[in-house]
Structure 1
């Protein structure tokens, strides 16, 4: 698949993001199938890990992809410590609101960091205006899909009884099209992918020569970052 990082000889750090997103999917499947607390942790903790990894990518803008930079080392330690403390505290304080507040705060931090890098930061000027516009479009598309998913999820909750009657009337398999919670997962997954590609593109252009990378689309319409010179790290 063309949009896999190693298929384009991209740095290994980006594989962490895809692994994290995959773990969220597996954890969510486990939780929905069992409704056990351990499965809930497997669903919710990777969400925190993915967002902290994303912030790590966005704040680590020194050139190069090794761990020799003091900034890179400090950010890595900070991410590990934060995730460890949150995991411990959430296991003790099993309050979903706590997770929602922390996760929401991390998402807001990511959005603000991207806005800062694209519009205000001198570091962001390393990226040409046309590529910054593409990155903003990718991230904005991801946010729009997330917002649409959130609306569907709430409509599914509000009109649950009505939708249930409709599903009974239309029968299987058309009833699946009225499963609002399922569409929530579909659009949050696609929104996450679009946002992560935008973040990946931005991080690569900041830490390397932006001329080495371009954006392409697969036959399915999914964006992916293509390395032009095909060099490994």
Structure 2
């Protein structure tokens, strides 16, 4: 039986690596059809849960921006799967560019948690759109991963700022936001360790033998970032509908996957047009 790890194979089914980044996982070791096996399959957490949540959002007729947050996470998961499976530059873009656009949807959703139903913040929409277009154009031109990481980091910082405002001013579930942020940040720490100490990690991986997969820190980053982002979306939906006084509740699919259940609208919501444009009284200050 072949050892679980060995020297990188120059190319496999997908040909020579053309991406500008090659991660710490050895290439084409597990199978010739997947360049980075563990970095690929770990994206399942960014594919299956958001599909479930997107279907639920459609059934419950949630606001479009909240649906788009789930679709964006799904696109990142699919793009990352394709990138790590092939290590082709075109697939790298399919992974990295949705990270920029998708995080913008989440930033906008957090910023609009306390807005009236149907409200459109045109200034913020235009700003985020221009930001994404500029980042996309510059990144396609210079092909520098550090630039992408910086641009993505700015969006994450903006998201944290809006989240802090929500925590201070709105009724919310603290466990959701703390667990989401903590899981994401821990994943980010593992990602940086993987980037900066790859030779040592590979040495440890070899010595672990069949337990080597537990040292795939970039795969752990996928799992933890996916879970953290999913919880951020859940937090955003829950807080938004608390603000709208629609009595959202947190439930769990198969005992561990949280989702938001929103009861059917009461009669006074169904008859808003007959009640002089009724709007729920806010339970948080305007952000």
- TM-score (norm: length of structure 2): 0.65
SS in 1 for 2:77: helix
Structure with the bigger percentage of helix: 1
Per-residue Cα deviation, 1:44-100 (whole angstroms, up to 9, x for no partner): 111111111112112233211x3xx4x433433333232222212221132222211
- In terms of Rg, which structure is larger? 2
SS in 1 for 2:251: strand
Query: How far, CA to CA, are the matches of 1:199 and 1:31 in structure 2?
Result: 29
Deviation, 1:223, is 1.8
Unaligned stretches of 5+ residues in structure 1? none
**CA separation of 1:218 and 1:117: change in aligned 2, threshold 3 A:** same
In structure 1, the partner of 2:160 is 111
1:48 aligns with 2:100: yes
Unaligned stretches of 5+ residues in structure 2? 1-48, 271-287
Deviation, 1:220, is 3.9
Per-residue Cα deviation, 1:13-43 (whole angstroms, up to 9, x for no partner): 3221111111111111222223222222111
SS in 2 for 1:217: strand
After superposition, where does 1:134-213 map in structure 2 within 5 Å?
Answer: 134=173, 136-157=174-195, 160-172=198-210, 174-206=211-243, 208-209=244-245, 211-213=246-248
Given the alignment, which residue of 72, 96, 99 partners 1:20? 72
SS in 2 for 1:205: helix
Any conservation in 1 of the 2:79–2:94 contact (CA below 8 Å)? Answer: yes
Instruction: Tell me the number of residue pairs that the alignment of Structure 1 and Structure 2 aligns.
Output: 215
Measured on the aligned residues, the alpha-carbon RMSD in Å equals 2.7
- TM-score (norm: length of structure 1): 0.79
Query: How far, CA to CA, are the matches of 2:95 and 2:69 in structure 1?
Result: 15
Deviation, 1:193, is 0.8
SS in 2 for 1:212: coil
